[in-house]
Each structure stands twice: as C-alpha cells, then as structure tokens.
Amino acid sequence: MNVTHIILQILFTSLSMFWEVLWPLILGFALSAIVQAVVSHKTLAKTLGDNSPRSLTLATLFGIASSSCSYAAVALARSLFKKGASFTSAMVFELASTNLVIELGIVLVVLLGWQFMSAEFVGGIIMIIIIALIFRFTLTPNLISLAKKQAGKGLAGKMEGHAAMDMSVSGKGTFWQQLFSNKGFTAVSEYFVMDWASVWIDIVVGFFIAGALTVLVPYSFWQAFFLTSNPTLAKIEGPLVGPLVAIVSFVCSVGNIPLAAVLWQGGISFGGVVSFIFADLIVLPVLDIYRKYYGWKVMSYILVTFYITMAAAGYIVEFLFSALHIIPINHHITVLTKGIQWNYTSWLNILFLIISAVLVYRFVKNGGMAMISMMEKPEQEMHHR
C-alpha cells in the first residue's frame, strides 16, 4: 500500500465521519445560537460573586447558555473572574460551557448513541459537584490572590475577542418576540457563524486524526493498550488514561468526539470515553493559556484538580450506568467503516446546509465579516470597541 493510497484512505474516512455528523453539528450550533441570542452575559459577574449553591447553579446554567469553544470558554471565565466572579464559579461556568452544550449532545447521539449523550450530561453535573467540593477544601486564599494578580496583567490567550462579544438581543418582549425580531435573527446568525469560526480548526483536526488512527493503528494495539482481555482492569484503567490521551491530542471542543469514537471502537471503557471527552479543558494548548492567565502554580492546581475530577466522574458514570444495565455492549462504530452513502443523512445534510447558507448570508449582509477579524483581539481592546 503506497503513501498516496494511505493518505486518500485517511481523507475518505475522515470525510465520511464528518458527513455523517454534519447536520447534527449544524442543528446543534443553530439551537445554541438561538439560546445565546436571547440570553445576555452582561450581568454574569454580578450573580457569580460567591461559591454558594445558588451562584454555582447560575454558573452552570449560564455556561450551558453560552455554549463556547474551549478557548473562548477559558477566556470568558477569566473575564468573569476579573470582574468579580468567584474563582470556583468561573471554573464551573467554564466546565458547563464546554461539556453541557447542545451541539455536543446531538453529535454524541449520532456518532456514539444516546447512552453517551446521557453519560455526558449526567457526568457533567457530577463533575461540577466534585470540583466545587474539591475547591471548597483545597483552594487557598493565597492561590486565589495569585490567580487574581496574574489575571490582572491581561496577558493574551486565545479567542478573547470572541469571548468578549455579546450580540444578544436586549429588549422587551417574550422569548419568541425577541427571537423572531430582525435583531434576533441577526444575533442568531452572528452567534452561529462565530461559533463555527471558533471551532472549525479543532473539528477538522479532530476528524483527520480520527481518520488517521482508524486507518493506521490496528485494533490489536488498542485492545492491548486498553486491557480489553481483562474487563475489570479495563474499567479501572479507562478513566485514568482517557484524560491523559486527551491532553496530548491537542484537540478540544466538539473536535474530540470523533477521537472518542475511535477510542471506544478500540476498546476503552465507557467511563474512559466520558473522562476523555471531559478533558478538552486540560489539553496542552489550554494549559498554556491557564499559565498566562493565572500563573504556573494555579495552572498546576487546575490541571491536578480537573484531572482528578474528570477521572472520578468517569468512574461514577461507569458504575451508575453499569448498575442500570445501559452501557452498550457493542464497540463497533458503523460510521468509521461504512463510508458516504446516499440516504436520509445526505438529505438532512443538504437541508441544513441550506439553513447554514441563509444564516451566513444574513451574517455577511449585516457586516459580520468585521467580527471575524476581531476574534483574536485582546480583551482590553474589545472593551474599548
């Protein structure tokens, strides 16, 4: 098998996977844009000033509504922290905005099954509870002081301009009245296009890596690596190894879902898949941003506490779903092998591509292209604008 044939096979496998989940991606981003268009972020910091159950619940709900890429979520969390939100609330917001969002759940259903979507949302809530408890007993005033001092320096990370944009409709009227107004339609188009613009690289890289692993890495390697010959050890290893694989994959946000499918087909445990998906907030590029935002000590603290939390959530989900007998037995992922077919998926893709075209046209018509150039602007410059 020559190199050209291998590359073409990788590209075909990657494209086949992407084609299978294209309409769910568009649907998820569209629904997320609708929510963001009518939920303003202006009062976030004022409502997240402490670590009370109420503030943490609001941080979770606001996080779900914000639906950001991992980089934008990290940038927005720092912005909230600088404006008065507690460090715990900022981190809870960050976890929710990347792990409890609409588009993630829809893609998980299509690519892996409803059990994984359920595990993601249940595990996400569990993870938020665990991190809140860990922070309560281990987060010292000195660490908070170090984080606040470093955050005040305003060192640039990634996607800060995107995180600082609030295009939501602020006006009177019901949810539906705001949504179907001219401003509401424009806001939906802006959030839709900007969210796609913020994650398309991760999505492309994620599908390409998934295609490469499918073609190049034999299943025997994965089965040995994930200890599939010993189910008990496999369940113990999975949630510990999952986040470690994610850290070195460099892929975050929705882009790590195709990688999760490859790992599941390779034999990783159910809890391992869940902890792998959660770990998009501790991949190496994001850790470097934590270092800039909060300093080395706080970055190390986030890494250790997040890793423990993600692994623990994976174990709890594994135990809970096993007790309910709803963990899938079959590890075969049809999408990885069946290729592109002319079926209902293709028709849905065409329909949602038309919807995308309408939203993109609205975005461009209303001067949205200028916003693309501001996505990587520093937070301070965005405030001046």
Domain assignments of the chain as residue spans, ordered by start: 3-384
Contact indicator for 206, 259 with CB cutoff of 8 Å: yes
pLDDT (0 to 100) of residue 384:
45
357 vs 327: CA distance, rounded Å: 38
d(CA 159, CA 76): 9
| Structure-token pair, residue 82 | 């600088």
CB 104 within 8 A of CB 120: yes
Buried b (16+ CB within 10 A) or exposed e, 195-224: bbbbbeebbebbbbbbbbbbbeeeeeebbe
**Beta carbons within 10 angstroms of residue 176's beta carbon:** 10
Residue by residue, DSSP assigns 210-277 as HHHHHHHS-HHHHHHHTTTTSHHHHHHHHHHHHHHHHHHH---GGGGHHHHHHHHHHT--HHHHHHHH
Predicted TM-score of the model (pTM): 0.83
Query: What pLDDT does 16 receive?
Result: 86
pLDDT at site 380: 59
Q: Are 184 and 38 in contact (CB under 8 A)?
A: yes
Q: How far is CA 372 from CA 181, 193, 195, 196, 376, in A?
A: 24, 9, 10, 11, 8
The residue assigned the tokens 């914000």 is: 66
> Cβ contacts of residue 255 below 8 Å, gap of 6+?
199, 202, 203, 204, 205, 206, 207
The string over 123-154, giving b where at least 16 C-beta atoms fall within 10 Å of a residue's C-beta and e elsewhere, is: bbebbbbbbbebbeeebeeebbebbeebbeee
Query: How many residues are there in the chain?
Result: 385
pLDDT by 10s per residue, the chain, length 385: 588 888 998 898 888 888 888 888 888 888 878 877 776 655 565 667 678 888 888 888 888 877 667 777 888 888 888 878 889 999 999 899 888 888 888 888 888 889 999 999 999 999 999 999 999 999 999 999 999 999 888 776 666 666 666 667 766 666 666 677 888 888 889 888 888 887 788 888 888 888 888 888 888 898 899 998 899 999 999 999 999 998 887 676 777 888 888 899 889 999 999 999 999 889 888 898 899 899 999 999 999 999 999 999 999 999 999 999 999 988 877 766 666 777 888 899 999 999 999 999 999 988 878 887 777 666 655 554 4
Residue 137's pLDDT is: 94
Closest CA to 62 of 29, 95, 30: 95
Q: Which of 129, 305, 103 is nearest to 200 (CA)?
A: 103
Task: Output the CA angle 251-252-254, nearest 5 degrees.
Answer: 110
